[in-house]
Amino acid sequence: MYNQDTFLDAATVESVVAQTVDELTPRNVFHFNSPRQAVVGEGSILTIGKLLRQQRVKHVFAVVDKTVHELGLLSSTLRCLKRANIDCTVFSGVEREPTTEVVEQALAMLTRCDADFVLGFGGGSAMDAAKAVAVMKSCNCSVDELTDPGFEGRRSLGLGAVPTTAGTGSEVTDISVILHIDERRKFVAKLPDLMPDLAIIDPGLMLGLPPLITAATGIDALTHAIESYVSASANPLTRALATSAITGIHNELPTAVGSGGCMPARLGMAVAAYKAGLAFCNAGLGLVHAIAHQVGAQYGIPHGVANGILLPYVMEFNALVCRSQFAAIAQAMGVARESMNEREQCDASIAAVRQLLRDIGLPESLSDYGARLDDFSELANEALQDICVESNPRNVTKADVMQLLERATS
Q: Which residues bind ligand NAD (CB under 6 A)?
A: 65, 67-68, 71, 73, 96-97, 122-126, 128, 164-165, 167-170, 173, 175-177, 205-206, 208-209, 213, 217, 220, 303-304
Q: Give the CB-nearest residue to ligand NAD.
A: 123
Amino acid at site 281: C
* 206 vs 184: CA distance, rounded Å: 30
Task: Work out how close the CB of 150 gets to ligand NAD at its nearest, in angstroms, rounded to a whole number.
Answer: 20
Q: Give the CB-nearest residue to Fe ion.
A: 220
What are φ and ψ of residue 57, in 5° steps? -75, 140
Q: Please state the separation of Cα 241 from the chain's center in Å.
A: 13
* Binding-site partner at residue 256 among Fe ion, ligand NAD, none, CB < 5 to 8 Å by type: none
* 88 vs 114: CA distance, rounded Å: 10
Amino acid at site 112: R
* 264 vs 356: CA distance, rounded Å: 19
**Closer CB to Fe ion, residue 44 or residue 282?**
282
Task: Work out how close the CB of 368 gets to ligand NAD at its nearest, in angstroms, rounded to a whole number.
Answer: 18
**Closer CB to ligand NAD, residue 78 or residue 84?**
78
* 283 vs 103: CA distance, rounded Å: 27
* Binding-site partner at residue 97 among Fe ion, ligand NAD, none, CB < 5 to 8 Å by type: ligand NAD
Residues 6+ apart with CB under 8 A from 243: 225, 229, 328, 329, 332
Task: Work out how close the CB of 235 gets to ligand NAD at its nearest, in angstroms, rounded to a whole number.
Answer: 18
> Which window, 36-44, 145-153, 157-165, 217-225, contacts Fe ion (CB under 5 A)?
217-225
Q: How many residues does the chain have?
A: 410
* x-or-dash string of contact with Fe ion, 71-100, rule CB under 5 A: ------------------------------
Q: Binding of Fe ion at residue 202 (CB under 5 A)?
A: no
Task: Work out how close the CB of 115 gets to ligand NAD at its nearest, in angstroms, rounded to a whole number.
Answer: 21
Q: Which of 193, 220, 382, 386 binds Fe ion (CB under 5 A)?
A: 220
Identify any residues that bridge with 175 across adjacent strands, giving them in sequence order: 190
* 232 vs 228: CA distance, rounded Å: 8
> Do 318 and 286 touch, CB atoms closer than 8 A?
yes
* Binding residues for Fe ion (CB under 5 A): 220
